[in-house]
Amino acid sequence: MNQTLLVELLTEELPPKALARLGEAFAAGIVNGLQGRGFLDAGAVATAYATPRRLAVSITQVRPTSPDKPMREKVLPVSVALDAAGNPTAPLLKKLAALAASTGVASIAPEQLERAADGKAESFFHVYTAPGTALQGALQGSLEESIAKLPIPKVMSYQRPDGTTVHFVRPVHRMIALHGSDIVPLSVLGLAAGRTTLGHRFLSKGEISIAHADRYAADLETLGKVVPSVAARKDKIRAGLLAQAGDDVVLMPEALLDEVGALVEWPVVYACSFEDQFLAVPQECLILTMQTNQKYFALTDAHGKLRSRFLIVSNLATDDPGHIIGGNERVVRPRLSDAKFFYEQDQKKTLESRLPGLQNVVYHNKLGTQRERTGRVVALASGIATALGYDPHGVTLAARGALLAKTDLLTDMVGEFPELQGIMGTYYAQHDGEPDEVARAASEHYQPRYAGDALPSTRTGTAVALADKLETLVGIWGIGLQPTGDKDPFALRRHALGILRMLVEKRLPLSIAALLSTAAGVFASQAAFKDPVADVSVFLYDRLRGLLRERGYAPNEIEAVVAPRPDALDNLIERLDAVKAFAALPESQALAAANKRITNILKKADNVPDSVDADVLADKGAPQEQALHRAMLACAPEIDRAFAAGDFQAALTRLAGLRADVDLFFEQVMVNADDPQLRDNRLALLARLHAMMNRVADISTLAT
């Protein structure tokens, strides 16, 4: 009879950051092992459990015995199994005796074998039904395989009471293996399976006997005060935080919820507070120290301003939590005092006074120090600001923002919390009286930090962010450390996407070629640097394709715009939208196919004239090419106006009106005419048409 199977390992406290992954891997290993051995019904459902002190899995619809299995094994080739007279040979008889012993039958006669073709020869086959095996052996093997494959961060070695040495992530004290209400007699990690476990260290009383596998989660929760499910525990924490927050907003990043959920078995949320004097410190510092050092949850008001209350998740429920609250308040106070001290000490020195110290910070041994890097970023930011048309004051702000952008790396606060680099630079620059855009550039130049992150909001921040990312991308690539496969230690893919997002989303009319060339130029004094502009350019356009795919554009639409490698991306989205609209027109496929044909013709041609000779067209041209030329002359001014106005959709739509004349041209006109003068003129006509068609995008990519 199919029953629910339960397997649990009761351990010492497991590493919290690895807990969820360990629980999932433990369950998956057992499920896969039993599935492969034929013990799981089609409707079987597995549930993984993981708490600080246990790994477990519950699987419904597990068979006590695997199904019988039809088998067909090759015995011997007929040429080996029979002699010249057709009698069984000694090798065959020996093989049959071995098969009989392995399959549990008294004997197997030669006439019981199947004789069948085996490639170009014939062979004997033994066809039989292998009886199913018991769950015990399959589960023993599956459990051992699962344990062997666990993603254990660091294996421990410990001794059992009998002196045997065991290797596992943490010492294991008990094991449960139940099929329904029956114990499955397993032995692993020096333990024999039973049905008892332990609940919460303080809230549970004594052993808990699991009568039936179906009762595991409910009994642990009611009798043991343990929430065994990772997801359920996380939900309980989230609900408790929201209830205690009241009208305030609780900051609960997923990573912190995951880690705290891996530290408690019976989560209870309590509210604590700290002195208001600490609110004079930038709230990012206080939030980070509470989250990182203490695993606390900060609270803000509805406007995002930090409150002097915070929430803790305890592993102990009590009617009088005063000692728990007081203890955590005493613990957090020195942490906040440290943050206050760092902040006050840092303000005693200006960011500008820290510039010489960057000379002592190595950026990369092949690219010099952070001070040298700062000089390169200043040059790039000034050039970008100039190219964007900033006035002299704007260029000065960009240079100043770039100059101070990395100085907060030398502050005590950033030394303690590297995650605050840029953020603290903004606070300290404001304290120093720097212009607002310069101060904001200290944090904005890191943007976007990740996919979906906001872009810099100021002109100065934009110029410095572009300069910083270009310097990293070109510089690191230029010393041979470009991304390879999954390896990208300097996050060059992220830097490339940041550059592209700024160019596209901010509609910046900057030349990619000029940006890369200028960036390569600032490394002229570095002996180890080799100009990577060509490779980085290809890399950028490949990343651009990926970025546009994520935004829902079709591959052929993307290729239409990206394949010509546009040097500026300020109107890229308008071009894409125009291509998308053009592709929906009934004329698009015919024109795309014609464009592709023209491309191939022109590739094979030598010395295509620059312009169409009107006299040759009038004297020797066929009516169809004359008609196409007239149609092109008629629509050219409209296309030029639409293109100049940035109305790319109108330009492509007007182009659709040429379809009939283009079709007639290719149906009735021979491009490679014998008359060289006529042939050259027709090539010139097609070249002119090709230029008109591809002015917005390469529409040949739309051809199916």
Which CATH number is 659's domain given?
1.10.730
CA 484 to chain CA mean position, Å: 16
Last residue of a domain, which of 552, 580, 614? 552
Q: Are 48 and 2 in contact (CB under 8 A)?
A: no
* Same domain as 660, residue 511: no
- Per the structure, how many domains does the chain have? 5
pLDDT of 409: 97
pLDDT of 516: 98
For residue 326, give both structure tokens.
């007081």
- Give me the mean pLDDT over the 239-257 stretch: 96
Q: Is residue 212 part of a domain?
A: yes
pLDDT-based confidence at 434, cuts 50/70/90? very high
* Same domain as 334, residue 374: no
* Same domain as 274, residue 207: no
CA–CA distance, 624 with 25 (Å, rounded to integer): 71
Residue 63 neighbours by CB distance under 10 Å? 22
Residue 125 neighbours by CB distance under 10 Å? 15
* Same domain as 98, residue 148: no
Q: Is residue 566 part of a domain?
A: no
Q: Is residue 559 part of a domain?
A: no
pLDDT-based confidence at 252, cuts 50/70/90? very high
CA–CA distance, 101 with 79 (Å, rounded to integer): 24
CA–CA distance, 42 with 224 (Å, rounded to integer): 32
* Same domain as 686, residue 630: yes
Q: Is residue 565 part of a domain?
A: no
pLDDT of 130: 81
pLDDT-based confidence at 205, cuts 50/70/90? confident
CA–CA distance, 466 with 450 (Å, rounded to integer): 15
Q: Is residue 309 part of a domain?
A: yes
- Give me the mean pLDDT over the 573-601 stretch: 91
CA–CA distance, 58 with 55 (Å, rounded to integer): 11
Q: Is residue 109 part of a domain?
A: yes
* Same domain as 139, residue 107: no
- Give me the mean pLDDT over the 634-648 stretch: 92
pLDDT-based confidence at 129, cuts 50/70/90? confident
* Same domain as 147, residue 106: no
Q: Is residue 561 part of a domain?
A: no
CA–CA distance, 130 with 70 (Å, rounded to integer): 6
CATH number of residue 476's parent domain: 1.10.3210
Percent helix, strand, coil in the chain, to 5, is 55, 15, 30
Give percent of the chain with pLDDT exceeding 70. Answer: 100
* Same domain as 584, residue 536: no
pLDDT-based confidence at 70, cuts 50/70/90? confident
pLDDT of 348: 97
CA–CA distance, 468 with 615 (Å, rounded to integer): 57
pLDDT-based confidence at 703, cuts 50/70/90? confident
pLDDT-based confidence at 486, cuts 50/70/90? confident
CA–CA distance, 164 with 162 (Å, rounded to integer): 6
Q: Are 536 and 473 in contact (CB under 8 A)?
A: yes
Q: Are 455 and 502 in contact (CB under 8 A)?
A: yes
Range of the domain at 617: 572-702
Q: Tokens 């050039």 label which residue?
A: 383
Model pLDDT for residues 328-344, shown as the tens digit of each residue: 999 999 999 999 999 99
- Give CA angle at 304 (300, 306), nearest 5°: 40
Burial string for 154-167 (b: 16+ CB within 10 Å, else e) reads: eeeeeeeeeeeeee
Type of residue found at 449 = R
Last residue of a domain, which of 110, 130, 150? 130
pLDDT of 552: 92
pTM score of the predicted model:
0.81
* Same domain as 436, residue 469: yes
Q: Is residue 495 part of a domain?
A: yes
Residues paired with 121 in a beta bridge = 118
Q: Are 499 and 539 in contact (CB under 8 A)?
A: no
* Same domain as 91, residue 103: yes
pLDDT of 304: 96
Q: Are 220 and 208 in contact (CB under 8 A)?
A: yes
- Among 84-88, 376-380, 521-525, 609-613, the range with the most confident prediction by mean pLDDT is 376-380
pLDDT-based confidence at 704, cuts 50/70/90? confident
Residues paired with 50 in a beta bridge = 55
For residue 126, give both structure tokens.
């033994």
pLDDT-based confidence at 240, cuts 50/70/90? very high
Residues paired with 130 in a beta bridge = 69
Residue whose C-alpha is closest to residue 647's, from 583, 571, 569, 561: 571
What residues have CB less than 8 Å from 364, skipping those under 6 apart? 475, 476, 479
pLDDT-based confidence at 482, cuts 50/70/90? very high
* Same domain as 323, residue 396: no
Q: What are phi and psi of 431, to 5 degrees?
A: -65, -35
For residue 646, give both structure tokens.
């940035």
Q: Which segment of 269-273, 286-290, 613-617 scores lowest on mean pLDDT? A: 613-617
Q: What is the pairing mode between strands 249-250 and 268-273?
A: unpaired
pLDDT-based confidence at 101, cuts 50/70/90? confident
Residue whose C-alpha is closest to residue 210's, from 61, 28, 49: 49
Q: Are 131 and 68 in contact (CB under 8 A)?
A: yes
Last residue of a domain, which of 82, 102, 130? 130
pLDDT of 131: 83
* Same domain as 418, residue 506: yes
Helix axes 648-655, 572-583, angle to 10 degrees: 30
DSSP string, 222-241: HHH-----HHHHHHHHHHHH
